[in-house]
Chain A
Amino acid sequence: MLVTEDSVENLVLYHSVSQFIYTEARLQDEHHYDEWEALWADDGVYWVPANGADIDPEKEMSIIYDNRSRIALRVRQLHTGRRYAQEPASSLRRTISNVEISVLDNGEIEASANALIFESNLRGEFVWAARNIYRLRREGASFKIAKKTVILANNDKALYTLAFLV
């Protein structure tokens, strides 16, 4: 259910979820790969669909559809220094906004937000726009990412290389 009531409890939840999302965004922008990887739950799924938002990633091609071990592989590749599409790393600044949260029946939190990412790389300067959906699991005082879905606004078109963490 979408959290709309202005109770103190809800405002605290909204604040802590937003802060978590901003932290993730900053770790991505600044290429802190290990700290970013540590945000993921052991069964985390990182999904960037292609050709819309309602495809079945088990049947159709996605831009990214990483289980937890593939997220780790992605990070290990970035660490080699020979992931040429990120060597030199893109210069990134992203804004995450329009955060809305729901509490799911299993206690997990689903947050949705808009993301606008500026990327500068050897090719030039580019802007990416996306709808992000985070499924977060409480762990201690913070959260783990159980699933992150990044629905690029132009995911039905040909895209340039997307080798930074989106």
Chain B
Amino acid sequence: MSANSHLDIGDRIQSNRVHGSLYHDEQIFQEELERIWFKTWVYVGHESELPNNNDFIMKSIGPQPIIMVRDKSGEIQLLQNRCPHRGNQVCVKQKGNAKLFTCPYHSWTFANSGELMGFAFPEGYEGHETADKSKLGLAKVPRVASYRGFVFGSMAEEGPSLEDHLGGAAEMLDRVCLTSPEGEIEVTAGFLQHKTRSNWKFLVENETDGYHPAFVHSSIFGVADSGIGALYSNKSTALARDYGNGHTEIDLRPEFRKADVPLQWFGTTAERLPDYVASMNAAYGEKRAREIMIDGTPHAMIYPNLFIAEIQLFVIQPVAVNETVQHVTALQFKGAPDLNRRMRQQTMGSVGPAGFLLADDSEMYERTQRGVQSKNPEWLFLGRGEQREYRDDDGFRVSHATDETPSRGIWRHYRALMEA
């Protein structure tokens, strides 16, 4: 039993403060796996990662590996990497193309849609009552759904639909796709994997914490002559938004609209990307294209593990109560090769183990993880901006970009999931 087991979840989460034990209590982590990671919709991968039938790629839901496959009929399947015979892992390759998975242990062979094709030495099972091939396939993630090419899985047989789960936050994924002249993103640049000795919730909260960039990232903003710092200043008109269901955003559009310069969101100009601008004008018409190129892509945290950071896609994977892996790649926009090249360049500079930004975020995660294990004051105070937050026209809570409206929304949803 943990030191804080006298506190139930409701006692540990209040409207503007949370108990430090929620980040380091092993029992809480195990509960989270059951109530959040193995239940709610979790982002797994993108359809573009499997361009051909029979392609597969290793993904995860929480600590568990998941084989994401485009099966022989072109359907996306999410399979457990566990032989139903004695539990061996049937696939140890990161990606590839395979019609069949053969368990190396006793050579049971499965179709890439999961069905058991045959036993090795089948005589030993002939006439056996429960050796039913149709019941001994690779387990599938019970619910798989896709939105704009983003593939999510839920380990619960029943529950809210993906559309219900995304709610108003689905519009952020629409906005990501708008930056492509073909309305689609692609995930084709490979992933960096950056691990951090910290609880996953620190990462989720930090993604839409607009209070820290002015301080944690001042080193790079200062030397890179970057305009990003101003977006997160005290004087910024950018907003923090809570979409409900744990989804949150830092909405930088007010700042970009004020500047009214296409592609300023990406730190560049229309002159430097003439091919891209021409494709956007052709696809959307000049007026709409200009609006899209002013607004840019969102800074969006889809609960619990998909973070779109304008130009990057992050997948947050908890592997232990104090260990989290960030999988990160550059977003690629279909039909925008000149934009994509810069996306990759900037992404490599910013994120991953050596990134100008993320190395420092990760340093904060780890210091915070150690910090919350100190006894006093036990609680974290998340009240910033509570007194000035309001509802926008869609009914979502918004406040100044540096306010802790997103964190409070994340914890509100967390509590609902953990108490469900």
Residues of A within 8 A of B (CB): 48, 50-51, 55, 58-66, 70, 73-74, 76-77, 80-85, 122-123, 156-163, 166
Closest-by-CB residue of B relative to A64 is B354
Q: Which residues B50-94 have CB closer than 8 A to chain A? A: 94
Contact call B197/A159, Cβ cutoff below 8 A: no
Q: How far is the CB of B358 from chain A (nearest CB, A)?
A: 8
Contact call B189/A59, Cβ cutoff below 8 A: yes
Q: How far is the CB of B280 from chain A (nearest CB, A)?
A: 23
Closest-by-CB residue of B relative to A65 is B348
Contact call B190/A80, Cβ cutoff below 8 A: no
Q: How far is the CB of B219 from chain A (nearest CB, A)?
A: 4
Q: A33–B363 Cα gap in the complex (Å)?
A: 21
Given contacts A63-B353, A84-B216, contact A55 B190 (CB under 8 A): yes
Contact call B219/A123, Cβ cutoff below 8 A: no
Main secondary structure of the interface of A (DSSP, over half): loop
Residue B195 at the A interface, CB < 8 A?
yes
Closest-by-CB residue of A relative to B328 is A61
Q: Which residues B194-226 have CB closer than 8 A to chain A? A: 194-197, 216, 218-220, 222-224
Q: A157–B223 Cα gap in the complex (Å)?
A: 31
Q: How far is the CB of A114 from chain B (nearest CB, A)?
A: 20
A-B contacts, 6 listed (Cβ < 8 Å): A61-B348, A64-B354, A82-B222, A159-B353, A160-B353, A163-B360
Given contacts A76-B223, A84-B216, contact A63 B362 (CB under 8 A): no
Residue in B190, B348, B360 whose CB lies within 8 Å of A85:
B360
Contact call B219/A63, Cβ cutoff below 8 A: no
Contact call A61/B222, Cβ cutoff below 8 A: no
Closest-by-CB residue of B relative to A48 is B354
B contact residues around A157 at 8 Å (CB): 193
Contact call A50/B352, Cβ cutoff below 8 A: yes
Residue in B94, B330, B354, B360 whose CB lies within 8 Å of A63:
B354
Q: A149–B329 Cα gap in the complex (Å)?
A: 21
Residue in A51, A62, A77, A81 whose CB lies within 8 Å of B348:
A62
A contact residues around B94 at 8 Å (CB): 51, 156
Q: A163–B363 Cα gap in the complex (Å)?
A: 10
B contact residues around A84 at 8 Å (CB): 216, 219, 360, 363-364
B contact residues around A61 at 8 Å (CB): 189-192, 328-330, 344, 347-348, 352
B contact residues around A63 at 8 Å (CB): 192, 348, 352-354
Residues of B within 8 A of A (CB): 94, 189-197, 216, 218-220, 222-224, 325, 328-330, 341, 344-345, 347-349, 352-354, 356, 359-360, 362-364, 366-367
Contact call A158/B359, Cβ cutoff below 8 A: no
B contact residues around A73 at 8 Å (CB): 223-224, 349, 356
Q: A77–B353 Cα gap in the complex (Å)?
A: 15
Closest-by-CB residue of A relative to B370 is A122
Closest 8 pairs (CB-CB, A-B): A158-B193, A85-B359, A82-B219, A158-B195, A60-B190, A76-B223, A80-B219, A162-B353
Q: A85–B194 Cα gap in the complex (Å)?
A: 13
B contact residues around A58 at 8 Å (CB): 341, 344
Kindly name the residue among A48, A58, A70, A163 whose own CB sees the greatest number of chain B CB atoms within 10 A: A163
Q: A65–B341 Cα gap in the complex (Å)?
A: 13
Contact call A163/B348, Cβ cutoff below 8 A: no
Closest-by-CB residue of B relative to A78 is B219
Contact call A50/B359, Cβ cutoff below 8 A: no
Contact call B220/A77, Cβ cutoff below 8 A: yes
Closest-by-CB residue of A relative to B353 is A162
Q: A32–B133 Cα gap in the complex (Å)?
A: 65
B contact residues around A59 at 8 Å (CB): 189, 344
B contact residues around A64 at 8 Å (CB): 348, 354
